[in-house]
Amino acid sequence: MSRAEALDLGLVVAGHGRHYIVETPEGRRVTCHPRGKKSDCVVGDRVRWQVSGDEGVIEHVEPRRNLLFRQDEWKTKSFAANLDLILVMVASEPVFSESQLTRALIAAEDAGIEAHILLNKADLPQIATARERLRPYAAMGYAVHEVALKARPDEARAELDPLLAGRSSLVLGPSGTGKSTLINLLAPDARAQVGEISQALNSGRHTTTTTQWYWLDAARTTGLIDSPGFQEFGLRQVSPQVLPGLMPDLAEPAKQCKFYNCTHLHEPGCGVRAALARGEVTESRYRIYGEIFQELSQTRY
């Protein structure tokens, strides 16, 4: 047995700065700090830790199955690790950004994590427009779940409970889509958990900027992770050459291109542009692809 294996095993359920909340297999929660200056834990990590006074020290992060993160020119922002499912949440109101949705789905594809789209506020008149905008995503294989979390909570639970059961899931999406409503509906003691963790981390009002794990069942088999809303979603971790393969509607047409290094922007004999002309790729998806490709093709310093 290695030195790390001899230490206690715990699950990171929240973090703020260099403070983390680690949950033991028995359900006890301990405030911990990483050893040394480097702080690379994220919610969902399994860690080895040991007691230090009335707190703990994280000595080792166990190997991850996956990690969802976004990366722009300046920094990398990790959401969570060891995920089974990502729920990308949008709503009929406010109007959602298809670019943000696409970027989140690309990040999930790149990390090898199953992604579903959760469309909230299905009781509003704007649902018809939102549903139409999501039709191409359903056609390319993404499951789209329509719910009205406030108006029809029981129906929402019937839709979501079987999907989430026994899994570790991350809710991702901009502010205003109803993420807090979702958490409060599915995690009965969510408010208590927020207060408890906020107090332990001394984060107060900053709790809304903190990723946090909630258990949805008493047996602690179903975990739901809430993440802060975001305005930008950088994908600098993705190389422009692999980008089409991470977009299901472009992946197959890209294999039909005349040139192996086709950018799908202007070359003759391009399978993607042929699919666009046939209506198999939407104008908005092609435009978003072009924007992300140009972004990723800029010189990196």
**In whole angstroms, what separates CA 253 from the centre of its chain?**
27
H or E element, residue 286: helix 283-297
Closest to 124 measured CA to CA, from 99, 93, 154, 97: 93
Can you say which residues are annotated as belonging to the binding site for GTP? 120-123, 173-181
Distance (Å, rounded) from C-alpha 112 to C-alpha 243? 14
H or E element, residue 111: helix 98-111
* Strands 55-61 and 29-34, bridge-based pairing: parallel
Provide φ and ψ at 178, rounded to 5°. 110, 25
Can you say which residues are annotated as belonging to the binding site? 120-123, 173-181, 257, 262, 264, 270
Give alpha helix (H) positions in 140-189.
153-164, 179-186
Can you say which residues are annotated as belonging to the binding site for Zn(2+)? 257, 262, 264, 270
For residue 55, give every residue at least 6 positions away whose Cβ sits within 8 Å of its Cβ, in sequence order, or none.
30, 31, 32, 33
